[in-house]
Amino acid sequence: MSQNETMVDVLHEVEPDRLPELLTLVNSAWWMSDRTTEETERILRESDIVVALVDPPSDRLTGFARVLTDYTHIALILDVVVAPEHRSSGHGATLMSTIVDHPRLQTVRSLELVCQPDLIAFYRRWGFTTEVGQSLLMRRTNDPRLTS
């Protein structure tokens, strides 16, 4: 562990009593800033893999990510977020390592994610690349934050 990393507990589910904490955490990211309690409950219920980080001293959620997958061909990593006060502390690396090393994802052909340009170097640490052949991301959305 590097000197700027802190220890966290890794959870594979978010209990209902932690839902307000999760909502605060996801609302800290611009692309999730309007998520509701009902949407967040549904996201938790319908995701194949959930990873949440808890800071032991405060017992508060500090990170979250989830995966949608068929466990064979593709796994889509979504909603990777670390609480602003815990960024640059290794929490994002813990989230990504937990997902990439997850036993049920070891034989999946392709792990994929969408990220902002300033995070490309971060995700490259786990072998992600912008070189995707002829593939292009296409989107149909009614959320203008996702097209500008």
pLDDT for 46-63, tens place per residue? 999 999 999 999 999 999
Q: Which amino acid is at 80?
A: V
pLDDT at 3: 40
Distance CA 146, CA 10 (A): 29
Distance CA 69, CA 6 (A): 29
pLDDT at 138: 87
The helix, strand and coil proportions of the chain, stated in percent and rounded to the nearest 5, come to 35, 20, 45
pLDDT at 6: 65
- How many C-alpha atoms does 64 have within 13 Å on its Cβ side? 24
pLDDT at 5: 52
Distance CA 12, CA 65 (A): 10
pLDDT bin (cut points 50, 70, 90) of residue 143 is confident
pLDDT at 139: 86
- How many C-alpha atoms does 40 have within 13 Å on its Cβ side? 24
pLDDT at 63: 97
Classified as helix, coil or strand, 1 is coil
Average pLDDT score over residue span 76-99:
95
Average pLDDT score over residue span 57-78:
97
pLDDT bin (cut points 50, 70, 90) of residue 112 is very high
- Which class for 129: exposed (0-12), middle (13-18), buried (19 or more C-beta within 10 A)? exposed
Average pLDDT score over residue span 2-30:
87
Q: Which amino acid is at 72?
A: T
Across the chain, mean pLDDT equals 93
pLDDT at 126: 97
Decide: 40 and 2 in contact? Cβ < 8 Å: no
C-alpha torsion angle, residues 29, 143, 118, 74 (rounded to 10): 90
